[in-house]
Amino acid sequence: MSNSEIQSPALQEPRHIRSERFATTQWSIVRAAGGIAGDAESALEELCRTYWYPLYAYARRRGYQICDAQDLTQGFIASLIQRNTFDRADPDRGRFRSFLLGSFNRYLSDEHRRQGAQKRRGDRSVLSIDIDAVSAEHRYRLEPGESVIPEAIFERRWALTVLDAARERLKTEYTQSGNLDLFEALREHLGADRATTPNRQISIDLGMEEGAVKTAAHRLRKRYRAALRAEIAQTVTTPEDLEAELQQLFLALGNC
């Protein structure tokens, strides 16, 4: 899917409608409550559960060993959820991605000074987000070569995580409407490469007219664009930030 498809003018909403919708996004809840209220804590935990892997990959590329990267990532998320760590003076606070990496860098510096391995292990016992080190390391081995700097790894993995989350959001939508088989048959249309299964074969498999398959594929791509925008909207606070994050997402994918 291309950048131009995502930002088609036909998908743009009036500014006042877009602004109203941003009033209750997860990151807005976290910011409004200062990270300490029940709703904010739940929203922050959900965001961290989705986006912890970019932090792990960043730590590994910084040179931390597997166990240390796991402990540091999990300890950071625990401290983020349990404490009011939000710096309202931060000019990048409108984007969760920027906040997360900046806070993680400060945490790494503090932990290096304190050499707090025992404290990190203590944090893990009260954290409901589990990090599978084996799975994480398997994913990390698929990352670009060592010449790619840690920040680029973080940005790239953030972008891929957003795309994955959007696909899962879309899969849930199709499942709830009883169209999971249709989603699975057409999901390859969501990738950057051309679909390999002919529409005629899909029409035979699903008992649909070939024209209906083409229409369904078009609708799926349109819904994917909407799901992607909805996913990014959870991590920013304004419509303007959403457009900037879309640009950054494709830039990050193109830089690795």
Question: Based on the number of CB atoms within 10 Å of its own CB, is 105 exposed (0-12), middle (13-18) or buried (19 or more)?
Answer: middle
The confidence score (pLDDT) of residue 249 equals: 92
Write out the two tokens for 75: 């300890």
Q: Which pLDDT score, from 0 to 100, does residue 17 have?
A: 36
Residue 202, both tokens: 């899909």
Scored b (16 or more CB within 10 A) or e, 207-243 reads ebeeeebeebbeebeebbbbbbbbbbbbbbbbbebbb
Mapped onto helix, strand or coil, the DSSP state of residue 163 is helix
* Amino acid at the residue 188: E
pLDDT of amino acid 223: 95
Orientation of helix 150-176 relative to helix 38-61, angle to 10°? 130
CA distance 147 to 149: 6
Contact of 74 with 127, CB cutoff 8 Å = yes
pLDDT per position in the chain (256 positions), as tens?
444 344 333 334 444 334 445 556 788 788 776 666 677 888 888 888 889 999 999 999 999 999 899 999 999 998 888 776 665 546 566 788 988 999 999 999 988 777 655 555 544 444 556 667 678 888 888 787 777 899 999 999 999 999 999 999 999 999 999 999 999 999 988 876 667 889 999 999 999 999 999 999 999 999 999 999 999 998 988 888 899 999 999 888 876 5
Give the tokens for residue 122.
């203590």
Distance CA 191, CA 193 (A): 5
DSSP 144: P
State how far the Cα of 127 lies from the Cα of 224, in Å rounded to an integer: 32
- Give the contacts of 58 (CB within 8 A, at least 6 positions apart): 101, 104, 150, 151, 153, 154, 157
Residue 26, pLDDT score: 83
Rounded to an integer, what is the distance from CA 43 to the centroid of its chain?
Answer: 14
- DSSP code string of 57-125: HHHHHTT--HHHHHHHHHHHHHHHHHS----TT-TTTTBHHHHHHHHHHHHHHHHHHHT-HHHHHHHHT
Whether residue 220 contacts residue 171, with contact meaning beta carbons closer than 8 Å, is answered with no
